[in-house]
Structure 1
Amino acid sequence: MGKYQAYPDYKDACIDWLGAIPEHWMTSKLRYTFSFGKGLTITKENLKDTGVPCVSYGEVHSKYGFEVDPLRHPLKCVDEEYIQSSPYALLKNGDIVFADTSEDIDGSGNFTQLVSDELVFAGYHTIIARPFDRECCRFYAYLLDSKELRTQIRHAVKGVKVFSITQAILRGVNIWLPPLEERAKIASFLDHETAKIDTLIDKQQQLIKLLKEKRQAVISHAVTKGLNPDAPMKDSGVEWLGEVPEHWAVKPLRFLGTCQNGINIGADFFGSGYPFVSYGDAYRNYSLPTSVSGLVRSTEKDREAYSLLRGDVLFTRTSETIEEIGLSSACLESIPEATFAGFLIRFRPAELTLHPEFSKFSFRNQLIRAFFVKEMNLVTRASLSQELLKKLPVPFPPLEEQVKIAEFLCVQAERFQSLFDNAEKAVLLLKERRTALISAAVTGKIDVRNWQVPVNQETQQQEAG
């Protein structure tokens, strides 16, 4: 923030977690600047693909964040009859929608602001905050997004597993306000500066997406075409697989080993006992962690039937979407005394068929997705049966070549991980800068009263308009 000037005089705001504010600013409470209401009393079952757009707590928490516009952001809808029956839940441009519950304390106080004149409802589990002064709407959004104000809210919410925020809590929040003309200036400054930061964040996130696609392409090529570009090829007989090296075999999984569903046991048995490999352990990782946090009171017979040995591969067998079905995780080290979740299928290869490190990459290659998408039946949840998994065509080279492919892909994986880490670090630093800039501007740590849009950028904006 070194390039910005401070205000000439400050005073103690007498508000926890805030400190000093400019001398001419005032303090107040949200109840004097907003009226509050509730969203529609509905459930997910009331949401449809057509009708009047609706912002529910899910959009606030995970989708659109700081602002929402139904012309840019796809929203679920409700019947038009709610316009007559529930006009209290209709939003105006500039209204703020809070999620009234959060699964973690950091999400307490999450909100989104409507930036459209379109007809939009606030949905279930939401609180509507309507600013009295509509010209200050944008400033209020930045104020509510500052870490100083968010800290107040987090210390006021109640909850253990679910954290709830109420209208009473919001009404009692202490705020600080510059004069009206300064609020507009601060909002314009932050709109301009955060847009630049958001553009940089978007570029880094696009880079991460491209890197993931490139990594998948490298893996898929290596485990289906090999490392020798001059190797003679043959038709695999599988449409989505295409050609494979002439000396490779292609067999359905059923001829390469055995399959076993995971343990099905009551919830009361979890929390103590022996190691338990969860759905998440397999879903998130190319290879299983050697130390798992889950525990279950399993019997000796259970631990024998649902064991995990080096070379085993776990597949996810149930999900709400096909994209998450059949994701694999290889066991590179045996996990003593462990069992695995019922939502997983264990494939145990016969000896001398598949090398564990080769399996780690082979079963996560993107071409396999084509098999599952084509073959899966999706009703309300997708479910992978053993019989379908056993039909999966598996291309595999001789063991010696499997080792070489695995070694090559391990090196490539490290290279890609380094690039991912750098890009994700850049995103984190940019987000931290965005947060710091918002807090500095709305708490008066920096004086932006004389700030102007740079001339060249102002010209570009006018030309774009």
Structure 2
Amino acid sequence: MTKLQAYPKYKPVDYDYVKELPVGWQLLPNIAIFQERIERGFIDEELLSVTIGKGVIRQADVDIKKDSSNEDKSKYKLIKVGDIAYNKMRMWQGALGYSQHKGISSPAYVILNPKMKINPKYFHYMFRTGFYTNYSKRFSYGIVDDQLSLRYTHFKRMYSIVPPLETQNAVVDYLDRKTKKIQEFISKKERLVELLEEEMDDIINYTITNGLNRDCELVTSKYEWIGNHPKHWSIKRLRFIGSCQNGISAAGDKFGKGLPFVSYSDVYKNSSLPTDVEGLINSNKKERENYSVKRGDVFFTRTSETIEEIGFASTCLTTIENAVFAGFLIRVRPKKDILIPEYSEYYFRSIIHRAYFVKEVDLVTRVSLGQDLLKSLPVLIPPNDEQKQKFNYASSNR
């Protein structure tokens, strides 16, 4: 990487994340730079989403789409070109961006409208840096990471580095050029990875729904996302194969020390639960009994601000002694000898359920997966010996 030249003169700054700035640069409170845009009633505008990876994009470009034609959009917020929008539950993870589109978004997003003459894309780049997302986390409020929220009330108290406008423009031009070259290189590599992953997913998903015996008789399921499946396999609603339990709700002072705590992130990021979770909570005996984490349990993410994060599943392959799990999760505990845990890991993490959840969940200010909806999920159940075969086959293709 080419080494950038230092500025000839710097001035001291008395703030915790920056100690000096080039002469002519400012450190300003966000309230001096942005105001919150709250404009509703534009129901005919296209829907926009705020993502961690791509910033503000058209919802039509999201990989998993939800038919929202019948939703009440009267409370959706307007985003104009040049605004910056952020997901208040995921700002600390980089879920924000400069909008190149005019549209509407979930009422749960915060829309920032510049109050002064700036290049908003400069702030797009700055807000997505590691130091600024960590800074955002400090101003976010919530019991645990999964519940952190950065409201505009708190965002406006934060400070941002503001160079002269010509410098902002130069920074944006430089980063646009560099990121374009890097993205072109990454895209070529990603395409190769995508092809390999698609092949792997096709193998796993076909095996999940069709089995390994290519000569067995198939029947067409009435559930279009399941498609064809072996005639001797059964389909049962989740309510008939296990029990559901929402996670623990506890005061903030109980977290940070004590016994193991399975978080939203533990489930969202992993097809099987890590055996050593990082979260801790002071739980009592009754709570540990009610919210226990045992081998074979399947945990689903139940609430989010985006449709893409609903219904992700993670299976417990090893009992976590004395653990409890987060309130943003639903635990499904299958009845004995119906589902082999290793099969559950691949089955419930596969993409075949995504269409069901996307079609059925409700989006108001947050997407919510309730127990009633989860219990109605049709589950494809092969005989136990075939579950073992499918797990071994899927594992060998990872």
TM bracket, shorter-chain basis: 0.5 to 0.7
Correspondence for 2:367 among 360, 376, 382: 382
Partner of residue 43, structure 1: 36
Correspondence for 1:89 among 101, 105, 116: 116
Q: State the 1:102 CA deviation.
A: 7.4
Cα deviations by residue, 1:8-40 (Å, 9 ceiling, x for unpaired): xx9xx899xxxxxxxxxxxx945299xxx9865
Partner of residue 338, structure 2: 353
1:292 equivalenced with 2:281 (yes/no): no
Amino acid corresponding to residue 260 of structure 1 in structure 2: Q
Alpha-carbon spacing, 1:89–1:387, altered in 2? closer, same or farther (3 Å):
same
Amino acid corresponding to residue 366 of structure 1 in structure 2: I
Say whether the 8 Å CA contact 2:80–2:101 is kept in structure 1: no
1:318 equivalenced with 2:303 (yes/no): yes
Structure 1 residues 98-107 or 210-219, which shifts more? Answer: 98-107
Q: State the 1:376 CA deviation.
A: 1.3
Partner of residue 84, structure 2: 56
Say whether the 8 Å CA contact 1:308–1:335 is kept in structure 2: yes
Aligned residues: 321
Whole-angstrom distance in 2 between the partners of 1:291 and 1:297: 17
Q: How is 1:21-170 mapped onto 2 (pairs within 5 angstroms)?
A: 29-31=22-24, 40-43=33-36, 45=38, 52-56=80-84, 58=86, 73-74=100-101, 89-91=116-118, 96-97=122-123, 104-105=130-131, 129-131=163-165, 141=172
Say whether the 8 Å CA contact 2:272–2:315 is kept in structure 1: yes
Partner of residue 306, structure 1: 291
Whole-angstrom distance in 1 between the partners of 2:341 and 2:299: 12
Say whether the 8 Å CA contact 1:95–1:129 is kept in structure 2: no
Instruction: Say which SS state the counterpart of residue 221 (structure 1) adopts.
Output: helix
Whole-angstrom distance in 2 between the partners of 1:259 and 1:140: 52
Say whether the 8 Å CA contact 2:300–2:311 is kept in structure 1: yes
Query: Normalising to structure 1: TM-score of the pair?
Result: 0.58
- More helix by percentage: 1
Q: State the 1:301 CA deviation.
A: 1.2
Whole-angstrom distance in 2 between the partners of 1:402 and 1:98: 47
Alpha-carbon spacing, 1:250–1:269, altered in 2? closer, same or farther (3 Å):
same
Partner of residue 341, structure 1: 326
Partner of residue 237, structure 1: 222
Larger radius of gyration: 1
Whole-angstrom distance in 2 between the partners of 1:324 and 1:87: 30
Instruction: Say which SS state the counterpart of residue 231 (structure 1) adopts.
Output: coil
Alpha-carbon spacing, 1:128–1:411, altered in 2? closer, same or farther (3 Å):
same
Partner of residue 393, structure 1: 378
Q: State the 1:248 CA deviation.
A: 0.7
Instruction: Say which SS state the counterpart of residue 187 (structure 2) adopts.
Output: helix
Alpha-carbon spacing, 1:74–1:294, altered in 2? closer, same or farther (3 Å):
same
Q: 5+ residue gaps in structure 1?
A: 16-27, 78-85, 110-122, 146-189, 414-465
Alpha-carbon spacing, 1:406–1:140, altered in 2? closer, same or farther (3 Å):
closer
Alpha-carbon spacing, 1:258–1:46, altered in 2? closer, same or farther (3 Å):
same
Whole-angstrom distance in 2 between the partners of 1:38 and 1:305: 45
Q: State the 1:371 CA deviation.
A: 1.1
Q: State the 1:370 CA deviation.
A: 1.2
Q: State the 1:276 CA deviation.
A: 0.8
Say whether the 8 Å CA contact 2:271–2:345 is kept in structure 1: yes
Say whether the 8 Å CA contact 2:34–2:114 is kept in structure 1: no
Whole-angstrom distance in 2 between the partners of 1:393 and 1:298: 34
Q: How is 1:429-444 mapped onto 2 (pairs within 5 angstroms)?
A: none
Q: State the 1:375 CA deviation.
A: 1.6
1:410 equivalenced with 2:386 (yes/no): no
Alpha-carbon spacing, 1:87–1:308, altered in 2? closer, same or farther (3 Å):
closer
Instruction: Say which SS state the counterpart of residue 406 (structure 1) adopts.
Output: helix
Q: State the 1:364 CA deviation.
A: 1.2
Cα deviations by residue, 1:216-239 (Å, 9 ceiling, x for unpaired): 333321111112222210122323
Larger RCO, structure (CA 8 Å, separation 6 or more): 1
RMSD: 4.3
Instruction: Say which SS state the counterpart of residue 288 (structure 1) adopts.
Output: coil
Amino acid corresponding to residue 116 of structure 2 in structure 1: A
Whole-angstrom distance in 2 between the partners of 1:210 and 1:128: 42
Q: How is 1:179-218 mapped onto 2 (pairs within 5 angstroms)?
A: 191=177, 195-218=180-203
Whole-angstrom distance in 2 between the partners of 1:310 and 1:95: 48
